[in-house]
Amino acid sequence: MDSRVSLLRAFAQGFAPGVAKVETERFGFAFLEQMLAGGGELEYGELTATRLLHKYKLVNLPDRRMDELLEAHVAKAWNVCRYFGAAANDVFCFNLDNNHRSDNTRVIPEMDLAVRSLRNGLRELGCEPLILASGRGFHVWGRLDQPVENGRLYRFMLQAAVRALLGFRERGYDHHKIKFNFYPDVLVHDVVSLRLFGSDHAKNRVFSHVFTPEGLLDESASWTYFEDFLRTKTMTAAAFAAACSETWALIASSRLRAAMTSGWLSV
């Protein structure tokens, strides 16, 4: 087995078991029969007319078949996406998107400030994030040493995002130019999935490079960084509890209250 599959298994251990979404250019009954031959059932398929990737949600996948899907993922045969657990998770993700309807793959100044401010803020809270280029923006992942209830994760992410946006007002930036989504989302945990590390973006087919303060890493270096992230950058439960308290203290600060009451920010 490819050693990268073991890394993805370790990262995905807290996701909904036996459930995955496959993104691929392939379609047709013969392909479906082949994809399901190793076990599992098709919950739905979503075919696109724009020559992008078709999507298939698979359920009741045995572990062996999940490993085979991941083997194909790292071999770039398709992308595998996973779904968050319904009640609690040991990973969380900020999805930052460029909100422009055109030229939305360019890293605009607002996006650059948001992702760097979010990274710095999380690091100050004891969370070393994994940041991946996602085509329209970035996925910013955190990993915990034990599952945390989804509502608590969502509140933490919301507060961390507000903290990251404080610098926008000082620089005169428009926060509407970017969009934050938070996962797991208690309302759509069984509807929305995220691509695993190692995927290629649907539109531009570019690898999901790791983003560091020095810039984007190449594919090989990104896998090395991912392995190190799993080994050394997991946040402890105690650190997470302390981070929640610190972010709430910031929310209660007079500086942030002024921004919120003026209508510039809302939570």
Kindly give the confidence (pLDDT) of every residue in the chain, 267 residues in length, as a single tens digit, with 9 standing for 90 and above.
789 999 999 999 999 999 999 999 898 899 999 999 989 999 999 988 776 789 999 999 999 999 999 999 999 999 999 999 999 999 999 999 887 555 545 677 888 889 999 999 999 999 999 999 987 789 999 999 999 999 999 999 999 998 888 878 778 888 888 889 999 988 876 778 999 999 887 666 778 899 998 999 999 999 999 999 999 999 998 999 999 887 766 655 645 555 554 454 444
Dihedral angle sign, alpha carbons of residues 192, 137, 139, 174: negative
Give the CA radius of gyration of the chain: 19
> CA 68, CA 98: separation in Å to the nearest integer?
34
> CA 251, CA 61: separation in Å to the nearest integer?
42
> CA 200, CA 54: separation in Å to the nearest integer?
14
> CA 68, CA 61: separation in Å to the nearest integer?
10
Asked if residues 96 and 137 have their Cβ atoms less than 8 Å apart, the reply is: yes
Mapped onto helix, strand or coil, the DSSP state of residue 136 is coil
Q: What are 154's two structure tokens? A: 């969502």
Amino acid at 123: R
Query: All domains of the chain, ordered by start, with CATH?
Result: 3-83 (3.30.70), 88-261 (3.30.70)
Quote the distance between the C-alpha of residue 138 and its chain's center: 8
Q: Which single residue is written with the structure tokens 């970017």?
A: 178
DSSP structural state of residue 85: -
> CA 168, CA 115: separation in Å to the nearest integer?
12
